[in-house]
């Protein structure tokens, strides 16, 4: 057995803290693997490798979340195949249960006219919510399987650069945005007569289980697809952080253009979705992972399903309150994109000591020199 120890000399990283990486390499015939330690304590990579991959592994292990696909030679056929399979899982497999149920009720008649609310009433609010989320479940499972077995990458690599998911960050993102939404709720209760109490224990408690179990899968699927997989895919092509932030944000907004609330409010709602997509992309870029955005997104959608509903949004449920106001792009939407989301970026930056925004957005991947002892 031959063991080689290599120090990877690092300069100050984009986030501002100097980090030293040491690689312990096993060159024996039976086991060709590499253990990379951060600051001599934490194992950040344990990989079987070929000799030609050695330098690539050493460089890639020290890169940011956005740069995880660079300087890898892109296997574009495999990456595009992954996207195709995810779309198939979402559209053709995930929506099949809903179509079968609609067929049993005679709702697939081309002459039948119905909107989201009437369809939810016909099927049942909770059942309809499950049908809405099922495509995301199938798409999420497909994406993870493709990353692991087609792209042959660690699944964790499209979630975070950390050795494991940081659930404290997930709860921070969830908690902060949950508090903001609760403040909005109390303001609406005391300043308007458009909110009515709608608590029905027979339907609410099953809804509670559905929301807490399935909605985090739905929101995590969107985060991993847009701010994980596509983020790194675009990063491999353009190599500067600003491109995946903008591209993934715009695509995120356009995809939500199919939501029924866009038809009711108008295309100006796309501004909200695109702004939110860019906001979540900046979080992923600066924090080197999806944990904060996963928490934020889950809080937003769980609140929409459990706490306040209406008859024109995608999530039509038996929530605690019903909003009877007319569909509109109101002051709360403008306040969110112009004040609250920028403020949240500053709060997260303060908590997690984000620095060098310009370098993160405009600089290409920074790699470290390797010196053999």
Residue 66 is predicted with a pLDDT of: 64
Q: Are 22 and 6 in contact (CB under 8 A)?
A: yes
pLDDT digits (tens, 9 = 90+) for 54-100: 444 444 444 567 665 544 555 789 999 999 999 999 999 999 999 99
pLDDT digits (tens, 9 = 90+) for 127-137: 999 999 999 99
pLDDT digits (tens, 9 = 90+) for 140-154: 999 999 999 999 888
Residue 33 is predicted with a pLDDT of: 56
Q: Report which of residues 344 and 313 the model is more confident about.
A: 344
What DSSP designation does 138 have?
A: H
Q: How confident is the model at residue 25 (pLDDT cuts 50, 70, 90)?
A: low
Give the Cα separation of 83 and 93 in Å (integer).
15
Strand bridging mode 321-323 / 308-309: parallel
Residue 236 is predicted with a pLDDT of: 75
Site of tokens 């769980």: 302
In order of 261, 266, 297, the CA distances from 327 in angstroms are: 8, 9, 22
Give the Cα separation of 370 and 338 in Å (integer).
44
Give the Cα separation of 363 and 67 in Å (integer).
11
Q: Report which of residues 45 and 217 the model is more confident about.
A: 217
What DSSP designation does 326 have?
A: P
Q: Are 337 and 276 in contact (CB under 8 A)?
A: yes
Residue 365 is predicted with a pLDDT of: 53
Strand order in the sheet with 42-48: 42-48, 32-38, 21-27, 3-9, 369-370
pLDDT at 41 over 60: no
What's the whole-number mean pLDDT along residues 276-280?
Answer: 97
pLDDT digits (tens, 9 = 90+) for 106-116: 888 776 677 78
Helix runs in 114-229, H state only:
116-123, 125-145, 167-191, 201-222
Residue 59 is predicted with a pLDDT of: 43
What's the whole-number mean pLDDT along residues 121-129?
Answer: 94
Residue 286 is predicted with a pLDDT of: 94
Strand order in the sheet with 321-323: 195-197, 321-323, 308-309
Q: SS3 for 72?
A: coil
Q: How confident is the model at residue 224 (pLDDT cuts 50, 70, 90)?
A: very high
């Amino acid at each position: 057995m031959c063991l080689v120890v290599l120090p990877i000399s690092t300069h100050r990283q984009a986030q501002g803290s100097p980090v030293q990486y040491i690689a312990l390499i096993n060159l024996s015939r039976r086991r060709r693997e590499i253990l990379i330690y951060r600051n001599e304590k934490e194992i950040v990579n344990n990989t079987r490798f070929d000799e030609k991959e050695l330098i690539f592994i050493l460089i890639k292990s020290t890169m940011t979340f956005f740069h995880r696909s660079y300087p890898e030679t892109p296997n574009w056929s495999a990456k595009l195949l992954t996207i195709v399979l995810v779309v198939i899982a979402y559209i053709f497999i995930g929506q099949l249960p809903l179509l079968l149920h609609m067929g049993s009720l005679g709702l697939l008649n081309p002459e039948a006219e119905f909107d989201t609310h009437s369809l939810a009433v016909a099927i049942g609010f909770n059942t309809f919510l499950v049908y809405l989320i099922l495509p995301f479940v199938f798409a999420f499972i497909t994406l993870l399987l493709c990353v692991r077995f087609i792209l042959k990458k660690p699944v964790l690599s499209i979630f975070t650069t950390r050795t494991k998911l940081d659930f404290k960050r997930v709860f921070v993102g969830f908690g902060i945005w949950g508090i903001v939404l609760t403040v909005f709720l109390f303001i609406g209760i005391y300043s308007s007569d458009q909110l009515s109490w709608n608590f029905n224990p027979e339907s609410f408690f099953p809804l509670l289980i559905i929301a807490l179990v399935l909605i985090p899968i739905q929101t995590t699927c969107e985060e991993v697809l847009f701010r994980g997989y596509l983020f790194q895919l675009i990063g491999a092509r353009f190599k500067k952080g600003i491109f995946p932030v903008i591209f993934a944000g715009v695509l995120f907004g356009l995809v939500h253009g199919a939501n029924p609330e866009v038809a009711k409010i108008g295309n100006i709602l796309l501004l909200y979705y695109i702004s939110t997509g860019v906001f979540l992309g900046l979080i992923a870029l600066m924090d080197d992972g999806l944990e904060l955005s996963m928490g934020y997104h889950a809080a937003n959608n769980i609140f929409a399903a459990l706490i306040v509903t209406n008859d024109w949004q995608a999530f039509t449920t038996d929530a605690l309150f019903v909003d009877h106001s007319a569909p509109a792009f109101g002051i709360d939407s403008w306040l969110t994109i112009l004040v609250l989301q920028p403020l949240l970026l500053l709060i997260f930056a303060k908590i997690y000591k984000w620095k060098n925004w310009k370098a993160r957005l405009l600089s290409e991947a920074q790699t470290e020199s390797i010196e053999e002892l």
